[in-house]
Amino acid sequence: MATPKYLECNNCGKQQPYEPFAPVACEQCGSQWLETRYDYSAFKRELLRGLPGRPANMWRYSDILPLENPSALDLYPAGGTPLWLSQRFAPALGHDHVYIKDERYGPTSSFKDRQAAGAVAAMNEGKIREAVIASTGNAAVAYAAACARAGIKLWVFMTSLVPQEKLREAALFGAEVIRVSGNYDQTKQIASQFAQRRHLWLDRGSGSIPARESMKTIAYEIVEQLGWKAPDWYIQAVSGGMGPLGVYQGFTELHRMGLIERVPKLAIIQAQGCSPMVQAFKAGKDTAESVVPDTRIIILSTGDPGKSYTYLWNLTQKFGGIMESVTDAEAFASMRSLAKSEGMAVEPATAVAFAGLEKLIHEHVISKDETVVVNCTGHTFPVEKHVLEDQFAVDVHLSETQAPAPREGLQAALENLDEKTTTVLLIDDNADDALLIRRLLEGKKAYRVLRAKDGWEGLAMARQNIPDLIVSDLTMPGIDGFGLVEELKLDPRTKDIPVVVVSAKDITTEERNRLKGHIEALYQKGSLPPRKFVDQVIQTIEDKNGA
Choosing from 396, 429, 447, the residue where a domain stops is: 396
pLDDT of residue 402: 45
In terms of pLDDT, which residue wins out, 304 or 359?
359
Is the CA virtual torsion 63, 66, 68, 74 positive or negative? negative
Read off the pLDDT of residues 394-442 as tens digits, 9 standing for 90 and up.
Answer: 555 554 544 554 444 444 443 443 444 478 888 887 777 777 777 666 6
Domain contains 514 = yes
Closest residue by Cα to residue 259 from 50, 3, 82: 50
Read off the pLDDT of residues 104-136 as tens digits, 9 standing for 90 and up.
Answer: 999 999 999 999 999 999 999 999 999 999 987
**Could you list the residue range(s) of the whole structural domain that residue 148 is in?**
112-209+387-396
Amino acid letter, residue 359? K
Tally of domains within the chain:
2
User: Residues near 290 by Cβ (< 8 Å), separated by ≥ 6?
Assistant: 185, 276, 303, 304, 404
Contact 425, 465 (CB under 8 A): yes
CATH number at residue 480: 3.40.50.2300
Pick the range with the lowest mean pLDDT from 47-51, 314-318, 442-446, 487-491.
442-446
Same domain, 480 and 391: no
CATH number at residue 140: 3.40.50.1100
pLDDT at 374 over 80: yes
Q: How many CB atoms lie within 10 A of CB 154?
A: 27
Read off the pLDDT band of 528 (50, 70, 90).
low
In terms of pLDDT, which residue wins out, 217 or 29?
217
Contact 155, 53 (CB under 8 A): no
Per DSSP bridges, beta strands 265-271 and 321-326 are: parallel
pLDDT of residue 252: 96
pLDDT of residue 245: 93
Q: How far apart are CA 253 and CA 256, in angstroms?
A: 5
pLDDT at 489 over 70: yes
The DSSP bridge partners found for residue 177 are 156, 393
Domain contains 475 = yes
Contact 520, 491 (CB under 8 A): no
Q: What is the mean pLDDT of residues 268-280?
A: 96
Q: CA-CA distances (angstroms) from residue 221 to 52, 116, 165, 353, 468?
A: 15, 18, 30, 20, 49
Task: Give 432: exposed, middle or buried? Use CB within 10 Å, 0-12, 13-18, 19+.
Answer: exposed
Same domain, 445 and 536: yes
Helices (H), 151-241: 164-172, 184-198, 209-214, 216-225
Q: How far apart are CA 215 and CA 58, in angstroms?
A: 9
Helix (H) or strand (E) holding 449: strand 447-452
pLDDT of residue 524: 67
The DSSP bridge partners found for residue 448 are 423
Same domain, 431 and 537: yes
Same domain, 391 and 450: no
